[in-house]
Chain A
Amino acid sequence: GENVEQHPSTLSVQEGDSAVIKCTYSDSASNYFPWYKQELGKRPQLIIDIRSNVGEKKDQRIAVTLNKTAKHFSLHITETQPEDSAVYFCAASRGNNDMRFGAGTRLTVKP
């Protein structure tokens, strides 16, 4: 089955700096890669996703890149703000009900 590894487990950046979180997956048939943000005490919310036919996707300050050959994808947050502080989860799926999540990255943005 699919195995998703996520790094780093914790990340601390200064406000205004960029943050990068990386994930690798094992199943070459995976074709959908979402990123979820979970603020303290709240539900995980989808912030951006990418499908395997695209190499990069951007939405304002966040972007995701996908390297299918190397089986890894990354979340990039630019100009970080304190409200970006949260736990971020990556996931990989074949597009069906079988989604596997990474262990999560706790991002802290220091003002």
Chain B
Amino acid sequence: DVKVTQSSRYLVKRTGEKVFLECVQDMDHENMFWYRQDPGLGLRLIYFSYDVKMKEKGDIPEGYSVSREKKERFSLILESASTNQTSMYLCASSQTGSPIQYFGAGTRLSVL
């Protein structure tokens, strides 16, 4: 059974803080994704990575960066958090050659 684990379920941060969201998967998947989920907008792709140290911008990368130093871990970084980044953040992973994505439980981030 694929397990995608996000380190925090809830986070509260101040405007201007640097924020790290961590995601770990245990199925040796090559691909990992970060999405943002907002009511009425569905899931929007922020960044994805298809290999260690490789990354590609998604639809809404502004204000975010990512890091993938190890295959199992994909981090989302908010360099200077802003209130409009208050949202639910979902991590997912998939195997190369398969379109099926497996999701983590999400991190609900509030930026005050």
Query: A108: CB under 8 A from chain B?
Result: no
Contact yes or no, B99 A34, CB < 8 A: yes
Question: Shortest distance in angstroms between B9's beta carbon and chain A's nearest beta carbon?
Answer: 9
Contact yes or no, A9 B48, CB < 8 A: no
Contact yes or no, B90 A97, CB < 8 A: no
Number of interface residues of B (CB under 8 A): 24
Q: Which residue of B lies closest to A102 (CB)?
A: B42
Contact yes or no, A95 B42, CB < 8 A: no
Contact yes or no, B105 A9, CB < 8 A: no
Query: A6: CB under 8 A from chain B?
Result: yes
Query: B11: CB under 8 A from chain A?
Result: no
Query: A101: CB under 8 A from chain B?
Result: yes
Contact yes or no, A103 B42, CB < 8 A: yes
Contact yes or no, B43 A89, CB < 8 A: yes
Residues of A within 8 A of B101 (CB): 34, 46, 99
How many angstroms between the C-alpha atoms of A46 and B44 in the bound complex?
17
Residues of B within 8 A of A101 (CB): 35, 42-44
Q: Which residue of A lies closest to B104 (CB)?
A: A43
Question: Shortest distance in angstroms between A64's beta carbon and chain B's nearest beta carbon?
Answer: 15
Q: Which of B31, B33, B105 interacts with A42 by CB under 8 Å?
A: B105
Q: Chain A, 70-94, contact with B by CB distance < 8 Å: what is the 0/1 string?
A: 0000000000000000000100010
Q: A34-B99, A97-B56 are in contact. List 7 more A-B contacts (CB 8 A).
A: A9-B40, A32-B99, A36-B103, A93-B99, A96-B99, A97-B50, A101-B42
